[in-house]
Amino acid sequence: DFPKALQQLASPAERLGAVWFQHAPPESTVAEAIQLGADPEAYARMLYTALHTLDQAGLTRILVELPPATEPWRAINDRLSRACSQ
């Protein structure tokens, strides 16, 4: 799950940022966190603003809790896959 993944990635050398909508990250694991709503339309409107805000915060990584793989979220999942890098 998302909080567990954040705990595994957390280290003193990393400043993690998180975008989440369902499972809040443990405060000890992230430097910055932004919650986006569980409504796909609201999430879509705020996604790039959230990513830009976290990008400007000087973080080493930004992790995003993946939305469901259902039809209402399809476009958002596509945007996220295009925005991410390995």
What pTM, to 2 d.p., does this model score? 0.86
Token match 């000890």: residue? 28
Structure-block tokens of residue 67: 């939305």
Q: How many domains does the chain have?
A: 1
d(CA 46, CA 36): 7
The residues, any chain, with a CB within 8 Å of residue 80's CB and separated by 6 or more, are 47, 64, 66, 67
One pLDDT digit (tens) per residue for the chain, 86 residues: 889 989 998 888 889 999 998 989 988 899 999 999 899 999 999 999 999 999 999 999 999 999 999 999 999 999 898 877 65
d(CA 28, CA 77): 27
Residue 22: give the domain boundaries.
2-83
User: 32: helix, coil or strand?
Assistant: strand
